[in-house]
């Protein structure tokens, strides 16, 4: 059964709408700092197999965890879509903090790739730093070196 027309039940609510994920830009920045600390305290563990004449051993060693936007979003409990929509309505203070966090993540990835801690190809793609080459050819101006007979055989095959 639907609510009766003209009701005022909505006035009895204790609050309207959802809570904000972050009340202040400072809390947003603190969330990023906590994520960075978590990454530093929880490195990836890589396995390295060494083989000697007698036996084979597996050695585990910690490897730095790269900071990532996706990892930060997961850590704070939001999605890329949420953040994109939030940026459209956010105040300048929030936008500055978000830009600062995203720049810090990109810098850490780039510096890690530069010193060899991270795979440079993967980081370059993540940061959009791939080399792009555009090839253009104009076949109309190229001289044709095929004989008429060879050209007509080629056209027949097509």
Query: 100 in a domain, yes or no?
Result: yes
Cα–Cα distance measured from residue 149 to residue 147, given in angstroms and rounded to the nearest whole number: 5
pLDDT for 158:
67
Confidence of residue 32 (pLDDT cuts 50, 70, 90): very high
Query: 1 in a domain, yes or no?
Result: no
Query: 143 in a domain, yes or no?
Result: no
Percentage of the residues of the chain whose pLDDT score is greater than 70: 77
Query: 3 in a domain, yes or no?
Result: no
Domain containing residue 31: 22-128
* Mean pLDDT value of segment 38-67: 85
Give per-residue pLDDT as tens, 6-28. Answer: 777 666 666 655 667 788 999 99
Query: 54 in a domain, yes or no?
Result: yes
* Domains contained in the chain, number: 1
Query: 43 in a domain, yes or no?
Result: yes
Residue with structure tokens 């780039």?
Answer: 110
Residue with structure tokens 């006035």?
Answer: 11
Give per-residue pLDDT as tens, 89-137. Answer: 999 999 999 999 999 999 988 888 888 888 888 888 888 876 666 666 6
Query: 15 in a domain, yes or no?
Result: no
Assign residue 31 a region: left if phi > 0, alpha if psi is -120 to 50, beta otherwise? alpha
Crossing angle of helices 92-114/69-76, nearest 10°? 130
Percentage of the residues of the chain whose pLDDT score is greater than 90: 32
pLDDT for 29:
94
DSSP three-state, residue 50: strand
CATH number at residue 56: 1.10.132.80
**DSSP result, 70-139:** HHHHHHHT--HHHHHHHHHH--HHHHHHHHHHHHHHHHHHHHHHHTTSS-HHHHHHHTT----------S
Q: What is the pTM of this model?
A: 0.64
């Amino acid at each position: 059964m639907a609510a009766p027309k003209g009701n005022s039940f909505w006035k009895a609510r204790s609050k309207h709408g959802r809570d904000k994920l972050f009340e202040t830009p400072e809390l947003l920045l603190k969330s990023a700092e906590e994520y960075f600390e978590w990454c530093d305290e929880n490195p990836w563990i890589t396995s390295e197999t060494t083989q000697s004449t007698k036996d084979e051993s597996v050695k585990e060693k910690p490897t730095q965890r790269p900071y990532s936007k996706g990892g930060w979003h997961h850590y704070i409990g939001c999605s890329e879509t949420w953040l994109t929509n939030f940026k459209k309505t956010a105040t300048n203070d929030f936008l500055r903090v978000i830009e600062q966090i995203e720049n810090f993540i990109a810098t850490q990835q780039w510096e890690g790739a530069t010193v060899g801690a991270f795979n440079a190809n993967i980081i370059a793609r993540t940061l959009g730093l791939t080399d792009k080459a555009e090839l253009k050819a104009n076949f109309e101006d190229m001289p044709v070196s095929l004989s008429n007979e060879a050209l007509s055989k080629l056209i027949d095959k097509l």
